Structure 1
Amino acid sequence: MRRRTFLALGVTAGAAAGWAGYRSRPGDFDPVVPDAPAGDERLERRTSQARGKPVDFYTAVPAGHGDGRGLPVCLVLHGASKTAADFPALGFGRFLTDAVRRGSEPFVLAGATGDRLNWRPAPGGDDPQRMVHEELPRWCAERGFDVSRTALLGWSMGGYGSLLLAGTYPRSARAVAALSPAVRLGGEIFQNAERLRGTRVGLWCGRQDGLVDDVRALAEALPERPVAGSFTDGRHNFGYWSRCLPAAMDFVSEALRR
């Protein structure tokens, strides 16, 4: 198996060392990232007209694929506790390179900061959903990426936002990889589940996550069964999500094939 390294997310080195090999509760895991290099990974500032403010714009190209020109795009929607500026530290570029080295077709990652608005339009005209749907593809096209082939990936609030976006604009994305999406039984995602017909969906959620029953219910409510995902031990944190990302990256790559 590929050697993996510990990624400390707001944890002191001493605490990390003290936790090595110790699980206080079922589903407790330390975050890990692949021992692979990030390729062309950039964090820029762009002015979002949809949001009415400058935002961080992140892109990652797998190592060995230059500037990514001609590659399809996976748009990444962050959770409530992170922004696009956190993506390099979370190891997204390394997860991407690892997926390609394991045999997945290459693609690029792109994301921008949506703040804590649940990826929905907010009073006053701040619309992170429109930013993802309209502006992110335009910014990616300026870099030469192939925006005719896109997918969505998000966790927690971003998982909810990815499903919401795919339902708001049916068939705009080939696939949605949702990790522990913050959905609730009977909520908007359930009410509009039929709008996800024709979009490949992957659902992951930890068995010790408070959202697991709702996510399982969503898997049953979708018009077409999820084609990827799992319900294994894990909580609502990057210790769990870091273990799901390799499979999510593979799922996205397969969906973006020509």
Structure 2
Amino acid sequence: MAHALTRRRLLAAGAGTAAAAVVGGLTARELSRPRTGPDPAVPDTPAGDERLIRIAPGARGREVDFWTAVPEGYGDGRGLPVCLVLHGASATARDFPRFGFARFLTDAVRRGAPPFVLAGASGGRLSWRRSGDDDPQRMVREEVPTWCARRGFDTSRLAVWGWSMGGFGALLLAETYPGWLRAVAAFSPAVRPDDAVFAGAARLRGTPVGLWCGRQDNFLKDVRALARALPEPPARAAWADGRHNFAYWGTVIPDAFTLLGAALTPPRTA
């Protein structure tokens, strides 16, 4: 199954011990350290329909926060496609309103990005992979789209966006289910050359990938290596001054939302 949106069009649109254990691309010590940093500079635009509820996914065996945001002016978002949001290790879905994601979304649409919905649930600190009976990746694959469909969102058109640990999880999700997602946007993904994302990179063929990372981020070398390891050139690969925090990530959200909106808009063709 092919994507109607080519990479060229997307490029135009986007202008041994517990202490040493590695989870995804992060060591246990790194995962335990607060990493979010300063909140992003949020656009002076209104949020649309933004909701945060508690819900009990079977895949996680516990209640989690589930958040959605619709751009202002689009009512309850019925009929809009969905970008799944995968948070980093130092955040949960409950932080999304504070980060201003709903306002970033409205701003992107007002600047010309095709409208879409953001939807994300708390996935713990497992790098969006299964641990025993706790399977946040299955929650995102099977349950979050069902919750979105109940709201009337168009779950036949899905993309994914994540940062840090969530960037790792977003890329891994696209590799695990090739062709399911229209695009992947990853900010400073916590990847390393010997991890599962690098091992499965060939499965990203046909899925537009956007990568962003700050030049002062410790992951920069590995993220750039991933860009070179992809089976096709990334739809977007941008390296600007910035560290591993939202002070930097907030500056590239507009670019990512433009890319995601363009990927979600055209109909998929056989």
1:131 aligned onto 2:131: no
Q: Percent identity?
A: 66
Q: Deviations over 1:176-221 (max 9, x none)?
A: 0000000001211111100111100000000000000000000000
- For residue 180 of structure 1, the aligned residue among 167, 181, 188 is 188
Q: Give the direction of change, closer, same or farther, for the CA distance of 1:234–1:142 in structure 2 (3 Å limit).
A: same
Amino acid corresponding to residue 130 of structure 2 in structure 1: P
Q: Which residue in 2 is equivalent to 1:5?
A: none
Q: Which has the higher strand share?
A: 1
Deviations 1:53-104 (A, max 9, x none): 1110000000000000000000000000000000000000000000000011
Partner residue in 2 for 1:63: 72
How far apart are the structure 2 equivalents of 1:113 and 1:186?
27
Amino acid at match of 1:137: P
Secondary structure (helix, strand or coil) at the match of 1:120 reads: coil
Counterpart code for 2:101: F
Residues 64-103 of structure 1: pairs in structure 2 closer than 5 A: 64-103=73-112
Q: What value does the CA root-mean-square deviation take over the aligned residues?
A: 1.1
Q: Which residue of 1 aligns with 2:30?
A: none
Query: Is 2:171 aligned against 1:152?
Result: no
Q: Which runs of 5+ in 2 are unaligned?
A: 1-36
Cα distance in 1 for partners of 2:116, 2:177 equals 22
**Higher RCO, 1 or 2 (CA under 8 Å, sep at least 6)?**
2
Correspondence for 1:53 among 40, 57, 62: 62
Distance across 2 between alignment mates of 1:192 and 1:116:
21
Residue number in structure 2 paired with 1:37: 46
The 5-angstrom pairing of residues 1-258 of structure 1 reads 31-123=40-132, 125-258=133-266
**Which structure 1 segments of 5+ residues have no match?**
1-27
TM-score normalised to structure 1 length: 0.88
Residues 141 and 30 of structure 1: CA distance in aligned 2, closer, same or farther (over 3 Å): closer
Q: SS where residue 88 of structure 1 aligns?
A: helix
In structure 2, what is the Cα distance between the partners aligned to 1:167 and 1:190? 10
Q: 1:30 to 1:112 in 2, by over 3 A?
A: closer
2:48 aligns to what SS in structure 1? Answer: strand
- 1:205 partner SS: strand
The offset of 1:225, in angstroms, is: 0.8
Asked if structure 1 preserves the Cα contact closer than 8 Å seen for 2:164 and 2:189, the reply is yes
Contact 2:227-2:237 at 8 Å conserved across structures: no
Shift of 1:162: 0.1
TM-score, normalised to structure 2, is 0.84
Distance, in Å, in 2 between the alignment partners of 1:243 and 1:230 is 11
State how many pairs are aligned.
Answer: 230
Alignment check: 8 A CA contact 2:56 2:62 kept: yes
Query: What is the CA-CA distance between 1:229 and the residue it aligns to?
Result: 3.2
